Amino acid sequence: IGSTLSSLSFLTGYFEHNYNPIYAPLINLILILKSIFINEVLINSVEIDEIKPKLYFNTELFVYYGRVASLTISSISIFILYLIFKKLKINFKIYGVLLIVFATSTAMLNIATTFGKNSSYLLIYLIQIYFLTKYLFKIDKFNFKSYILFGLLASLAWGINYWPAFISIYAIFFLHYKKFKLKKFNYLLIFLIIFLILGPIINFLFVGQSPFELISPNVDSSFNIVLFLESFVGDAIKSFEILYFNERNIILLVIFTPVFFLNKLTKFKKEYLIIFFLIFEPIFLFGISDKVIPQLRYFAGINCVILILIALVLNEINKVNYRYLSVLFLIFNFYFIYENFKINNEINKIIFNKHSFYTFNDNINIDKSKILYLINLNTQETLKQNLYYEELYNNN
């Protein structure tokens, strides 16, 4: 919220050196302003001059529109995943089921309903994978313009959540070597210039914290290699636990992959390995960092990689008449969808039920003005108090 308001400093007068990179708040801001215009101006007929005080005194509306922005971005991400499946020429029966699995997952619920940067991270993550797969399977289309494209994508990814930029960097160096070997280094230089200027340099001007502070281990005189390795392994195990409980297709991937590699008639084994490597990059970063811990919202992109791989494997296996594996895939995934809906329903029940504090409050039968609540009520101030704040603000 602070980063988004800072992006709107020409209207709010509020600016800070953000904790978050700058591009995700800007993307959210564009969608928030669009939603405000449609809902407040066009539908509710609110005058333009009245919108600012309305949001000032009803700050929950700003959060609401931020959540709408996350939902919009997440929905576009599902469409990009669909485009990846189409680019890989995956059978409709396979990708149709997998899209439903992902759309109903708790990872998607987490990022789509939260006002934050992780919906934008998922979108840029998938866009980069889309172009990686495009050039991976059609290397003849990889040309000078591709370096500019990946430079822009890497910059945008860096300005959203730093680490997704690795996909474009990884893609550009691998694809360059595949097509040009040790020639045309000027193309790589163009990519690096675009990335460094629009990514790290611009973010350095607006962000008050270096990204390396987040991922570097705490190395000092008391550094202990044994403790570091224990922490590294612990974070790696935690990451795979989150993957296992949130995207059960990783089980089918483990089962089907040996069949895929051992059969001589299946194609795209090298491409599989190139995409498969993407699973481990964030897990490695969690392992070496002493500040960032594995959490569900960081794994939506990796979940998509798992779905892309299982789709690629099953699509190839089907071509060599392993039809029974398709039946196994459908049975398990219909069960996964059922479990996702069940979990979503349980979460909704928790959210929409009144909690004990509110029930307790409703049961008070005496004069409530004499009740003292020993809780933080900073965000629940009176209209008079807010008018006082506005007066202070207007008078600097």
pLDDT tier for residue 373 given thresholds of 50, 70 and 90: low
Q: How many CB atoms lie within 10 A of CB 161?
A: 23
- Considering only CA atoms, which of 46, 52, 49, 8 is closest in space to residue 26? 8
Name the pLDDT band for 105 (thresholds 50, 70, 90): very high
* Average pLDDT value for the chain: 86
Higher-pLDDT residue of 175 and 387 is 175
Query: What is the reported pLDDT for 18?
Result: 66
pLDDT tens sequence across 24-63: 988 999 999 999 999 998 998 888 888 888 887 888 888 9
Among 20-24, 130-134, 381-385, name the most confident range. Answer: 130-134
pLDDT of residue 192: 95
The stretch 359-367 carries a mean pLDDT of 63
Residue 366: predicted pLDDT:
63
Q: Which of 18, 16, 24 is nearest to 155 (CA)?
A: 24
Using DSSP's 3-state secondary structure scheme, residue 43 falls into helix
- Structure-model confidence comparison of residues 205 and 279, the more confident one: 279
* Coil/strand/helix, residue 21: coil
Instruction: Give the angle 252-257-263 at the CA atoms, nearest 5°.
Output: 135
Distance CA 116, CA 285 (A): 21
CA separation, residue 145 to residues 57, 114, 128, 142, 198 (Å): 48, 36, 15, 8, 17
Mean pLDDT of all residues in 298-309? 94
d(CA 19, CA 243): 27
Taking the CA atoms of 271, 277, 279 and 281 in sequence, report the sign of the dihedral they define.
negative
| 174: pLDDT strictly greater than 90 | yes
pLDDT for position 321: 75
Quote the pLDDT of residue 182.
86
Contact between 112 and 74 under an 8 Å Cβ cutoff? The reply is yes
Return d(Cα 128, Cα 133) in angstroms, integer: 9
**For the chain, what is the radius of gyration of the CA atoms?**
24
- Using a 10 angstrom Cβ sphere, with 0-12 exposed, 13-18 middle and 19 or more buried, the burial of residue 124 is buried
- Per-residue pLDDT at 112 exceeds 90: yes
In this prediction, residue 222 carries a pLDDT of 66
> Is this structure's pTM higher than 0.75?
yes
- Work out the angle at residue 286's Cα, subtended by the Cα atoms of residues 169 and 16, and round it to the nearest 5 degrees: 75
Phi, psi for 363 (deg, rounded to 5)? -90, 0
What is the percent of the chain where pLDDT is above 90?
52
**Per-residue pLDDT tens digits for 307-349:** 999 999 999 998 887 778 888 999 999 999 999 999 999 988 8
Question: Does 391 score more than 90 pLDDT?
Answer: no
Q: What is the pLDDT of residues 184-202, one digit of tens each?
A: 999 999 999 999 999 999 8
* Confidence (pLDDT) at 185: 92
Q: What is the pLDDT of residue 49?
A: 84
Res. 133 pLDDT band, cuts 50 70 90: very high
- Please, which pLDDT band fits residue 374 given cuts at 50, 70 and 90? low
Q: Are 206 and 191 in contact (CB under 8 A)?
A: no
Region for 370 from its dihedrals, namely left if φ exceeds 0, alpha if ψ lies in -120 to 50, beta otherwise: alpha
**What pLDDT, in 10s, does the model give residues 194-232?**
999 999 998 888 776 777 666 665 555 566 788 888 888
